[in-house]
Amino acid sequence: MIRFVRGDLAATDADGVVVAMGGMGIAVRVSDTTRAALPPAGSEVTLRTHLVVREDALDLYGFADDAERALFEALIGVNGVGPRMALAICGLGTPPALAAAIGGGDTGYLSKAAGVGRKTADRVVLELRDSMGAMGAVGAGPHVAGGTRGGAREGLVALGFAPDDVDAALATAAADMDEEALIRHGLAALAR
């Protein structure tokens, strides 16, 4: 599986971006959230990716960070949500904001994504509410239950990582890191 691509941002279009690397242009579909975070054309870019293999195509989906990729992967696990719909949902906002919306049952917010109707939004909430509720608390700041480290731990566990692995990853973090930095540190350590 292709987990990331790094190269020069050659072009952007309605479907995504083209990353120039090794003499090739790799087409990567991106969400509106990731597109907004991209540097100008010609700059180096690194995208975390998820490869979708279909009978007639290989589609590479790219994300600004591991949290958005994890959210995308959780969304495509929902019955009736394909990669393009999951990408549209990811484009609504940051992963903590989306996790909070899913955890809080905000189907109206999810329905704003292209192709997502009320029934699909209800299904997303039903199937992901428990796992996303803890991640949504991560965006609430340092006063969530369990403190900064507790919030980061809950968020990483909500993304599907084993609690023991999360504890080991966070044990190597600096004591003065805020919750967002702890999550980034934890994701980097867990990706090794």
Residues comprising the chain, all counted:
192
- Confidence band (pLDDT; 50, 70, 90) for 180? confident
**Tens of pLDDT, residues 83-124:** 999 999 999 998 988 988 898 888 999 999 999 999 999 999
For 24-57, how does the pLDDT look when each residue is reduced to its tens digit (9 = 90+)? 999 999 999 999 999 999 999 999 999 999 999 8
The percentage of residues in the chain with a pLDDT greater than 70, rounded to a whole number, is 91
Predicted local confidence at residue 135, as pLDDT: 52
* Strand duo 4-12 + 58-63: pairing: unpaired
Burial of 34 (0-12, 13-18, 19+ CB in 10 A): buried
Q: Report the candidate in 178, 170, 134 with the shortest Cα–Cα distance to residue 155.
A: 134
Q: Are 60 and 51 in contact (CB under 8 A)?
A: yes
Domains of the chain: 4-63 (2.40.50.140), 67-138 (1.10.150.20), 147-191 (1.10.8)
pLDDT of residue 148: 60
